[in-house]
Amino acid sequence: MRKLGNQENEVSRLQEQLSAAEVVIVGAGAGLSASAGFDYTGERFSRYFHDFGDKYGFADMYSGGFYPYQTLEEYWAYWSRYIWINRYQNPPKPVYNALSELMQEKKYFVLTTNVDHQFQRAGVDKERLFYTQGDYGLWQCSKPCHNLTYDNEEQVRKMIEAQGFVIDGKGQLTLPQGVRPAMSIPTELVPYCPRCGKPLTMNLRADDTFVEDAGWQTASERYTAFLREAQHQRTLFLELGTGYNTPAIIKYSFWRMVSRRPKAFYACINLGEAYAPAELGAKAVCINGDVGEVLKALADGEHV
Ligand SMILES: [Zn+2]
């Protein structure tokens, strides 16, 4: 087990719990996507955003997303690249597929704060999925005057191509040799609300203007029903890469349910932040490691 040598016991304990569990509830945060290679800084940032970085002095995609651009044409030039590479392009490493395979024989449900849609891309049925914080692939009215969301793939593709990028057959965003991308999109591609005419915006939970559309409501109800059904079943709460940005959604709720449910067990896999409260005692295992590495170790172990 590469990089996990000193945690073999923990991985074995998790493996036992996984095998014995009747139900698995996965809670996934940013660390899972980071492990899949969705790096928001470094080489990936410079490859797609060095022009914006040079102009405005930021060095990671998050900061660029918050920058107060003067025009919507420039805002969407930035955001269309961001959306494409983090939502419509495959991740560098198949960590989501590994998780999906590991869950194949299980009855499971996924609760996630990730907005990059990678569970569905890896084949997880949307009926087993509750993405609480939104989706890079959806837009909503910025007011909002109504609570529908809009798929953005086709429009984002047009914005990307208008900047000089090419999207290859595999969905990979590339820039032809010698081309300098435009840093704004044509005005006619700026998206507006079809009802009130205000600009459309990302369907991401940043404040109370977040639209919880019908898909969101249905997923929320499915999750609640799944939890209720699992109440007396042997349940593994498997937390992957969840940090302390929004701990109430997954982490604290998992701790509370595990402490109240006699047949529940809590596992936390997180690089640098693997922790469980002492009161969970023997009902918890923490593995301080890269999520992808641990999933691989679990998958390898199952086939030994
Ligand atoms: Zn509107």
Which structural domains are found in the chain, ordered by start? Answer: 1-38+91-132+211-304 (3.40.50.1220)
What's the CA angle centered on 39, arms 242 and 142, to 5 degrees? Answer: 75
148: CA distance to ligand 1 center in Å? Answer: 9
Question: DSSP 3-state assignment of 161?
Answer: helix
Quick one: which H or E segment has residue 218? helix 214-229
AA identity, residue 226: F
* 19 neighbors 231 (Cβ within 8 angstroms): no
At residue 301, the pLDDT reads 79
> How much is the average pLDDT of 238-265?
95
112: CA distance to ligand 1 center in Å? Answer: 27
**Which residue has 């997180």 as its token pair?**
270
Residue 263 clears pLDDT 60, i.e. is over it? yes
User: What is the distance between the alpha carbons of residues 128 and 28, in angstroms, rounded to a whole number?
Assistant: 13
At residue 300, the pLDDT reads 86
Question: DSSP 3-state assignment of 50?
Answer: helix
- For 281, residues 6+ apart whose C-beta sits below 8 A from its C-beta are none
Residue 273 clears pLDDT 70, i.e. is over it? yes
> How much is the average pLDDT of 97-119?
95
At residue 5, the pLDDT reads 63
pLDDT band at 304 (very low <50, low <70, confident <90, very high): very low
276: CA distance to ligand 1 center in Å? Answer: 44
Question: What does pLDDT average to over the chain?
Answer: 94
86: CA distance to ligand 1 center in Å? Answer: 26
Burial tier of 36 (Cβ tally within 10 Å: 0-12, 13-18, 19+)? buried
Q: Which residues are annotated as a binding site for Zn(2+)?
A: 141, 145, 193, 196
